[in-house]
Amino acid sequence: MTWDAYHRRKSALREVLAVADRHRDGVDAATLLDSVPQARDAFETPADLLRELQLTWFQQLSGALDRAGAEGPALEPEAAVLEAWESAALTVPGVRRLLDSAGDDPVLAVGLANEHRLLAAFAGGRGPALEEGERLRLVARDRTELPPVGADDESRGLIARLRQALAA
């Protein structure tokens, strides 16, 4: 990928993220591709966009887990993982909803398994990693209330507010 293509892709992704955050009511990857003019040039298929959104999510989650780990043993490992997952979800609520609605898509299977392993490892890995990580993800998802469409930007993370400002 050339630098020009890379920058076009990142620009398209920023716009897609902004649209996903504004339309958290069931929008899917194909709709996002149609909603953002430059997205069709940057992502060939909805599957390509889904993989990129999953990578965006994984980066947010990894960062939140790293921050939780750096803060020391203030919380039990499982509680820290759940809080980190919630923090990441609130930072990219549109992405989180889109991934939840596309959860059965086979293109997400490998990334989802990696997420499960990561969650289990950060929580101390009390059982088989895939099963433990899936349990943690489901608990975190069930306890996380994403802000409704049009919610005050103060309820979202700094990164989400900066991303929205850049996309404007």
Chain centroid to Cα 25, Å, comes to 16
Helix (H, G, I), strand (E, B), or coil: what is residue 74? Answer: coil
Question: What are the residues whose beta carbons fall under 8 Å from the beta carbon of 117, sequence distance 6 or more?
Answer: 129, 130, 133
Q: pLDDT, tens digit, for every residue of 20-62? A: 888 756 678 888 888 898 998 899 899 999 999 999 999 999 9
Give the amino acid at 1. Answer: M
Rounded distance, CA 58 to CA 96, Å? 10
| pTM of this structure | 0.81
The band of 124, judged by pLDDT with boundaries at 50, 70 and 90, is confident
Contact 108, 102 (CB under 8 A): yes
Count of structural domains within the chain: 1
Domain that holds residue 87: 3-167
20, 76, 98, 146 from 163: Cα distances, Å: 12, 31, 17, 17
Mean pLDDT of the chain: 85
pLDDT higher than threshold 60 for residue 157: no
Rounded distance, CA 156 to CA 137, Å? 20
Instruction: Over range 138-165, report the average pLDDT.
Output: 68
